[in-house]
């Protein structure tokens, strides 16, 4: 395990949305701050800094995590994906984003990036969730504008149009998913 001195700035390297990036930061720097302030990707938002609102959710090696409860040094050498990774390079929205738009699942849009990242992870493991399962995942996020109805509808729409052959998530990824408050 890499050891770092708390009083020294250290070089932290990770892959952000497929691009290898590095910057110097204090070991106590939060991953949310590191992504936004050191790496310059401001799509990830910080809403509470105590792990409840979910706005800062990113994928670390494909698994949804609160970037405000993660130190940047913990993401060293790992692959971090944020909301900026979802649309095609020409700006075309992916099916989840497009469903959010079609179902008026956002108003101010501040909580939206975290919600998109949680469902990006979840739908990859469980492409056909029930409405109750969607609500359970969504209950790890706070949205103050929409009353949530449009968000549930958007995810249901994506789930119902996902290819039928992909079944429920396998056990390995369920286990990997365990213990996090998505």
Does 19 help bind other proteins (rule: CB under 8 A)? no
Does 29 help bind other proteins (rule: CB under 8 A)? yes
Does 82 help bind other proteins (rule: CB under 8 A)? yes
Rounded CA-CA distance 35/162 in Å is: 31
Q: Where are the beta strands (DSSP E) in 61-99?
A: 63-66, 79-81
Q: Which of residues 58-77 bind other proteins (CB under 8 A)?
A: none
CB of 146 to other proteins, least distance (A): 6
Rounded CA-CA distance 103/106 in Å is: 8
Closer by beta carbon to other proteins, 12 or else 83 = 83
Does 26 help bind other proteins (rule: CB under 8 A)? yes
Beta bridge partners of 25: 10
Scan for tokens 């494909």, then name that residue. Answer: 62
| 3 φ/ψ sector (left φ>0, alpha ψ -120 to 50, else beta) | beta
**Residue 96 C-alpha from the chain's centroid:** 13
Q: Which of residues 135-174 bind other proteins (CB under 8 A)?
A: 135-136, 138-152
Please answer whether residues 117 and 83 qualify as being in contact, where contact means their C-beta atoms are separated by less than 8 angstroms.
yes
Scan for tokens 């949530």, then name that residue. Answer: 148
Stretch that binds other proteins, among 8-16, 40-48, 121-129, 166-174 (CB under 8 A): 40-48
CB of 131 to other proteins, least distance (A): 10
Contacting positions for other proteins (CB under 8 A):
26, 28-29, 36, 41-50, 52-53, 55, 82-84, 86-87, 91, 93, 97, 100-102, 104, 106-113, 116, 135-136, 138-152
């Amino acid at each position: 395990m890499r050891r770092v001195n708390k009083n020294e700035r250290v070089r932290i390297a990770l892959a952000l949305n497929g691009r290898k990036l590095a910057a110097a930061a204090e070991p106590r720097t939060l991953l949310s701050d590191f992504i936004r302030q050191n790496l310059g990707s401001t799509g990830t938002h910080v809403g509470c800094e105590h792990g409840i609102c979910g706005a800062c959710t990113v994928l670390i090696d494909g698994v949804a995590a609160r970037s405000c409860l993660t130190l940047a040094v913990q993401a060293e050498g790992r692959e971090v994906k944020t909301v900026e990774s979802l649309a095609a390079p020409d700006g075309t929205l992916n099916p989840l984003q497009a469903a959010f738009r079609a179902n008026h699942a956002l108003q101010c849009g501040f909580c939206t990036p975290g919600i998109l990242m949680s469902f990006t992870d979840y739908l990859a493991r469980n492409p056909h969730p029930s409405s109750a399962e969607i609500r359970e995942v969504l209950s790890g996020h706070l949205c103050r504008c929409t009353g949530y109805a449009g968000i549930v509808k958007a995810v249901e729409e994506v789930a119902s149009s996902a290819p039928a052959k992909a079944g429920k998530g396998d056990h390995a990824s369920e286990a990997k998913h365990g213990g996090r408050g998505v």
